[in-house]
Structure 1
Amino acid sequence: MRGSCVLEPKNRISDNALKVWRITGFFTSLFGWVITIAVAVLTYFFDWPNLIWAALVIMSIAHTYLFIFLIPSIRWKRWRYEVRESEIEIQSGLIIIKRTLVPMSRVQHVDTKQGPVLRRYDLATVVVSTAATSHEIPALDTAEADDIRYFISTLAKVEEEDV
Structure 2
Amino acid sequence: MRSRLEHYIDERAVRVWRLTALVGNGFAVLLYAAVAWGISSLRSLMWLHAVCLGSLMLLAFFTVIVLPKLRWQRWRYVIYEEEIDLQHGVVITTKTLIPMVRVQHVDVRQGPFLRRYGLASVEITTAATKHEIPAVAYEEAEQLRMQLSKLARAATEDV
- Per the shorter chain, which TM-score range? over 0.9
Structure 1: give runs of 5+ residues left out of the alignment.
none
Aligned pair partner of 2:109 in 106, 113, 121: 113
How far is the alpha carbon of 1:85 from its aligned partner? 0.6
Aligned pair partner of 1:9 in 5, 13, 20: 5
Distance 2:49 2:31 in 1: 10
Aligned pair partner of 1:50 in 43, 46, 50: 46
Q: Secondary structure at the match of 1:45?
A: coil
**Counterpart residue type for residue 40 of structure 2:** Y
Distance 2:67 2:4 in 1: 20
How far is the alpha carbon of 1:94 from its aligned partner? 1.2
**Counterpart residue type for residue 71 of structure 1:** L
| Residues 59-97 of structure 1: per-residue CA shift (max 9 Å, x gap) | 111111111011111111000110111110000101011
Distance 2:106 2:78 in 1: 15
The residue that corresponds to 2:29 in the other structure is: 33
TM-score by length of 1: 0.92
Aligned pair partner of 1:18 in 14, 26, 33: 14
- Aligned pair 1:124/2:120, yes or no? yes
TM-score by length of 2: 0.94
The residue that corresponds to 1:146 in the other structure is: 142
| Same amino acid, percent of matched pairs | 40
| Residues 9-61 of structure 1: per-residue CA shift (max 9 Å, x gap) | 10000011000000011011111211332344344333342111101111111
Across the two proteins, how many residue pairs are aligned to each other? 159
How far is the alpha carbon of 1:122 from its aligned partner? 0.8
The residue that corresponds to 2:69 in the other structure is: 73
Runs of 4+ residues over 4 Å off in structure 1 = none
Distance 1:162 1:131 in 2: 19
Root mean square deviation of aligned Cα: 1.4
Written as runs of structure 1 = structure 2, the 5 A alignment for 1:73-92 is 73-92=69-88
Distance 2:36 2:158 in 1: 65
The residue that corresponds to 1:96 in the other structure is: 92
Distance 2:44 2:121 in 1: 46
Structure 2: give runs of 5+ residues left out of the alignment.
none
CA contact (8 A) 1:13 1:79 kept: yes
How far is the alpha carbon of 1:112 from its aligned partner? 0.7
CA contact (8 A) 1:43 1:50 kept: no
**Counterpart residue type for residue 145 of structure 2:** R
CA contact (8 A) 1:43 1:53 kept: no
